[in-house]
RNA sequence: GCCGAGGUAGCUCAGCUGGUUAGAGCGCAUGAUUCAUAAUCAUGAGGUCGGCGGUUCAAGCCCGCCUCUCGGUACCA
């Protein structure tokens, strides 16, 4: 590995349309903060960069819904997010935002450079345009009927009902959410970053030169590259974002995915005039801490941008984490299934370190993990309180009791003393080794082992007994206990900064650095320490129950929301209704369409003929169970080829709240071909 | 379907390029102990390493097939 002189750590920019939750913290910010605090303690030159991602369509939509400006939205959430990070001790050198001036300048300059170098391709395409509002419509600004599940109110990019991702042009009866008018298709010009052009470079750089990346990251990249990379639009028609800085681009802004990672650069520029040293000097190590949803951007897209620009470093590693679930379910902002950081701190005041600890000890490093309140309580009570807090307390209380807070002068060390003192260094080394490899779960475990060592040492030497018979020996024992305690005060700093600081205050330690860590004498004999207070408090069952009840309430609210039917569609005339020819029919044959997940190929006796229908119901029915079943079929729907099979009609299904499909059939058997009207 | 990541003790996870009786923490049981927030310390019970087959003197680790979970992708008239 190259010997780097300094490190630049970036953390994924949280999207400023909502607060941050434990998933963000566990996946990105806590590990990044631990890593950076560790390097700082070692005296290394390191920067931790963060900021809010404030552009993009969802923010404009939210603003519209709430009747405020997009700036109002991002101001609000940027404030909340920034404060949450401060409160949890995420030690950013700068936490910036993409709506500020430096960023506009940086992003726009970056685009201009690539533009001038001819790194983009220009393409014209047809997009929906709202004539009343006089603007192009982003996919999210269009609603209509989902072509798949036929639910109304699907967005142009995704149907929230069936979860399918869509193209706006596929929506049935599209409608602009801005003016309510029916949008028209209109040609528009955009710039694209030809990722395919960078494929051979990416192959070499990732698949050959960075085999050491985490397996989830490496595999994901390989998957994307092998699937074939496509040119990606870097601009779009929108009025919220960084304007495209070329002529003829009025009403166009940089696509949010393009401007967001440039936010890392902008923030660094804002922080220091020396920013280029951190971004362009090959002796700087660039690290991106992100969640797994961001792997493709940070390993493929952003590096391609940097490479195309030419003067920037590429990331040396991208330690992406998987996702954190909450009590067995995916964390979801819209379903309010989350533990919000700003709420946590009002309910568990001053317990930042507890959450940091639990999220680190149970971090989703290799696979998705589950956060449960019961585990949270257990780790607090059985580990932080019982092992770490208790050892520190024992050590300090005994010192006060026997020596009024003065570190005693030790006598000769016996074998066990020496072994114990040596072990301190061993645990420190193991912690450090894990940290270097981004194995934070293992690192915090090894750090805790130092506290275990302390407890064992006290249990084995029993100073409270010896004090009556061999007071001299007790001095040595307490001296060693205090050295372990002092080491903990340093070793825990990256993980539990608040508690470590509190401990250092108790120990009257002052400034520390990593070099002291692992040493046998951190506190000199004669040094006076302060009164002890508890580092951690037990968490009672009632507090945990309160949190569980709160989540239960979210679940109830969601179920209630799911029960309300979607509003009726616009009226149609009787003539329009009679155009639809719906009949009863019987399924004669059914088989799964090869190489698909959802498709069944059905042969239906419609009374008039036997015809083939392809239907997306395979997830809910076994083909053999369908034979002989009577169904409703729309017979005059224009035929369409699906997976090479011509589908002549459509089976009518009802969709339940959970997305399950149910046949709409005659209540008792009728002649095939009977009209449904 | 295809691609990727996972499936190891009740729970959360380690297991390097295949090599003696498969590990840790928590939980559980028993014992010791009382300086300490009834905390601690020791000992122990728990595993056909998702399933089946193969390669090998030897497989949790390699190969094939199957199965389950998560993510990406195709498909949903």
Residue pLDDT, tens place only, A114-125? 999 999 999 887
**Per-residue pLDDT band at A260 (split at 50, 70, 90):** very high
Instruction: Burial-class residue A200 by CB neighbours within 10 Å (0-12, 13-18, 19+).
Output: exposed
Predicted pLDDT at A562: 64
Query: Which positions on chain B have an atom < 7 Å from some protein CB?
Result: 1-6, 11-14, 24-27, 32-37, 39-42, 70-77
- Is the pLDDT score of A374 beyond 60? yes
Tokens of A334: 């819209």
Of the candidates A298, A307, A315, which has an alpha carbon nearest to the alpha carbon of residue A197?
A307
Given this structure, which CATH class describes domain A120-233? mainly beta
Q: Count of alpha carbons within 13 Å of A64, Cβ hemisphere only?
A: 12
Task: Identify the residues numbered 265 to 294 in chain A whose C-beta atom is closer than 7 Å to any atom of strand B.
Answer: 292
Residue A517 labelled as part of a binding site:
no
- A164 sits within 7 Å of strand B by its CB: yes
Q: Which nucleotide is nearest to A394 (CA to C1')?
A: B36
Q: Mapping DSSP to helix (H, G, I), strand (E, B) and coil, where does residue A513 land? A: coil
Q: Which nucleotide is nearest to A596 (CA to C1')?
A: B1
Predicted pLDDT at A129: 79
CA A384 vs CA A376, A457, A537, A538: distances in Å: 11, 18, 9, 9
A674 DSSP assignment: P
- A329 sits within 7 Å of strand B by its CB: no
- A464 sits within 7 Å of strand B by its CB: yes
Predicted pLDDT at A594: 78
Instruction: Burial-class residue A398 by CB neighbours within 10 Å (0-12, 13-18, 19+).
Output: buried
Residue A159 labelled as part of a binding site:
yes
- A305 sits within 7 Å of strand B by its CB: no
Residue A149 labelled as part of a binding site:
yes
Span A116-152, pLDDT tens digits: 999 999 988 777 777 776 777 766 667 776 655 565 6
CA of A615 to C1' of B71 (A): 25
CA of A158 to C1' of B3 (A): 23
- Is the pLDDT score of A231 beyond 50? yes
Nearest-CA residue relative to C1' of B24: A445
The pLDDT of A375-397, averaged and rounded, is: 94
- Is the pLDDT score of A410 beyond 90? yes
pLDDT, averaged across chain A: 89
The pLDDT of A92-119, averaged and rounded, is: 96
* DSSP string for residues in A468-485: HH-HHHHHHHHHHHHHHH
Helix axes A101-116, A256-271, angle to 10 degrees: 120
Where do the CATH 2.170.220.10 domains begin and end in chain A? 120-233
Cα–Cα distance for residue pair A427/A433, rounded to 1 Å: 10
Predicted pLDDT at A264: 97
Segment among A306-310, A389-393, A438-442 with least mean pLDDT: A438-442
Tokens of A212: 């050491």
Q: Dihedrals φ, ψ of A675, to 5°?
A: -75, 140
A 10 A CB-CB count for A666 gives 13
CA of A227 to C1' of B66 (A): 26
Predicted pLDDT at A311: 96
Cα–Cα distance for residue pair A494/A477, rounded to 1 Å: 28
Cα–Cα distance for residue pair A651/A663, rounded to 1 Å: 8
Is-contact A142 A175, C-beta < 8 A? yes
Instruction: Burial-class residue A406 by CB neighbours within 10 Å (0-12, 13-18, 19+).
Output: middle
Cα–Cα distance for residue pair A292/A657, rounded to 1 Å: 29
Helix (DSSP H) and strand (DSSP E) numbers for chain A: 23, 26
A 10 A CB-CB count for A36 gives 25
Where do the CATH 1.10.730.10 domains begin and end in chain A? 372-516
Residue A299 labelled as part of a binding site:
no
A 10 A CB-CB count for A61 gives 19
Task: Identify the residues numbered 228 to 257 in chain A whose C-beta atom is closer than 7 Å to any atom of strand B.
Answer: none
Predicted pLDDT at A598: 84
Cα–Cα distance for residue pair A629/A647, rounded to 1 Å: 19
pLDDT greater at residue A162 or residue A542: A542
Please state, for a pLDDT cut of 70, what percent of chain A lies above it: 93
A 10 A CB-CB count for A205 gives 18
The pLDDT of A389-413, averaged and rounded, is: 95
- A659 sits within 7 Å of strand B by its CB: no
A331 DSSP assignment: -
Cα–Cα distance for residue pair A457/A452, rounded to 1 Å: 8
Predicted pLDDT at A43: 95
- Is the pLDDT score of A182 beyond 50? yes
Predicted pLDDT at A387: 94
- A560 sits within 7 Å of strand B by its CB: no
- Is the pLDDT score of A1 beyond 70? no
- Is the pLDDT score of A551 beyond 60? yes
Q: Which nucleotide is nearest to A172 (CA to C1')?
A: B77
Domain A372-516 homologous superfamily, CATH: Isoleucyl-tRNA Synthetase; Domain 1 (1.10.730.10)
- Is the pLDDT score of A557 beyond 70? yes
Rg (CA), chain A: 31
- Is the pLDDT score of A99 beyond 50? yes
Task: Identify the residues numbered 619 to 638 in chain A whose C-beta atom is closer than 7 Å to any atom of strand B.
Answer: 634, 637
CATH (one of 3.30.420.40, 2.40.50.140, 2.60.120.10, 3.90.1300.10) for A575-676: 2.40.50.140
Is-contact A55 A242, C-beta < 8 A? yes
Is-contact A117 A141, C-beta < 8 A? no
């Amino acid at each position: 590995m190259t010997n780097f002189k300094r490190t630049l750590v970036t953390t994924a920019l949280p999207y400023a349309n909502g607060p941050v939750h434990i998933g963000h913290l566990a996946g990105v910010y806590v590990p990044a903060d631990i890593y950076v605090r560790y390097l700082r303690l070692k005296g290394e030159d390191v920067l931790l960069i963060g900021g809010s991602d404030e552009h993009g369509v969802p923010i404009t939509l939210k603003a519209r819904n709430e009747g405020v400006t997009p700036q109002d939205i991002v101001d609000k959430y940027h404030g909340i997010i920034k404060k949450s990070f401060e409160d949890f001790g995420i030690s950013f050198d700068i936490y910036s935002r993409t709506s500020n001036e430096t960023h506009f300048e940086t992003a726009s300059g970056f685009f201009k450079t690539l533009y001038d170098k001819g790194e983009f391709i220009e393409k014209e395409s047809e997009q929906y345009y709202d004539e009343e509002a006089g603007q192009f419509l982003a996919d999210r600004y269009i609603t209509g009927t989902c072509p798949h599940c036929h639910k109304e109110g699907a967005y142009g990019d995704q149907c929230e009902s069936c979860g399918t991702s869509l193209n706006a042009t596929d929506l049935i009866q599209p409608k602009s959410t801005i003016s309510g008018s029916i949008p028209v298709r209109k040609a528009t010009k955009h710039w694209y970053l030809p990722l395919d052009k960078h494929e051979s470079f990416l192959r070499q750089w990732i698949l050959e030169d960075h085999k050491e990346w985490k397996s989830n990251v490496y595999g994901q990249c390989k998957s994307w590259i092998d699937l074939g990379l496509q040119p990606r639009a870097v601009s779009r028609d929108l009025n919220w974002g960084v304007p495209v800085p070329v002529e003829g681009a009025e009403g166009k802004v940089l696509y949010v995915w393009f401007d967001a990672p440039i936010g890392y650069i902008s923030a660094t520029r804002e922080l220091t005039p020396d920013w280029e040293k951190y971004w362009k000097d090959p002796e700087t190590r660039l690290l991106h801490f992100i969640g797994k949803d961001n792997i493709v951007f940070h390993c493929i897209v952003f590096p391609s941008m940097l490479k195309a620009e030419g003067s920037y470093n590429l990331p040396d590693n991208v330690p992406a984490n998987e996702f954190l679930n909450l009590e067995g379910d995916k964390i979801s902002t819209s379903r309010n299934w989350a533990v919000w950081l700003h709420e946590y701190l009002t309910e568990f005041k001053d317990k930042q370190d507890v959450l940091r600890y639990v999220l680190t000890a149970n971090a989703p490093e290799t696979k998705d993990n589950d956060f449960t309140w019961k585990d949270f309580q257990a780790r607090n009570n059985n580990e932080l309180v019982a092992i770490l807090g208790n050892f520190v307390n024992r050590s300090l209380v005994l010192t006060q009791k026997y020596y009024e807070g003065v570190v005693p002068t030790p006598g000769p060390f016996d074998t066990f003393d020496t072994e114990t003192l040596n072990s301190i260094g061993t645990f420190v080394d193991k912690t450090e080794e894990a940290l270097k490899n981004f194995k934070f779960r293992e690192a915090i475990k090894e750090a805790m082992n130092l506290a275990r060592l302390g407890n064992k040492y006290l249990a084995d030497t029993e100073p409270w007994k010896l004090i009556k018979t061999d007071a001299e020996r007790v001095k040595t024992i307490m001296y060693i206990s205090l050295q372990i305690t002092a080491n903990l005060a340093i070793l825990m700093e990256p993980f539990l900064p608040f508690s470590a600081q509190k401990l250092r205050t108790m120990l009257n330690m002052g400034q520390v650095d990593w070099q002291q860590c692992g040493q046998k004498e951190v506190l000199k004999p004669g040094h006076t320490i302060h009164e002890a207070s508890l580092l951690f408090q037990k968490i009672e069952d009632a507090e945990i129950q309160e949190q569980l009840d709160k989540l239960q309430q979210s679940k109830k609210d969601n179920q209630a929301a799911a029960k309300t039917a979607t509003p009726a569609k616009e009226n149609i005339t009787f003539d329009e209704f009679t155009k639809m020819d719906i009949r009863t029919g019987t399924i004669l044959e059914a088989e799964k369409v090869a190489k698909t997940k959802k498709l069944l190929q059905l042969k239906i006796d419609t009374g008039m003929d036997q015809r083939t229908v392809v239907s997306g119901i395979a997830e809910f029915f076994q083909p053999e169970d369908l034979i002989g079943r009577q169904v409703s079929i729309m017979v005059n729907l224009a035929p369409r080829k699906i997976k090479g099979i011509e589908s002549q009609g459509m089976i009518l299904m009802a969709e339940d709240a959970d997305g399950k499909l149910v046949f709409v059939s005659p209540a008792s058997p009728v002649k095939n071909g009977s009209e449904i009207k």
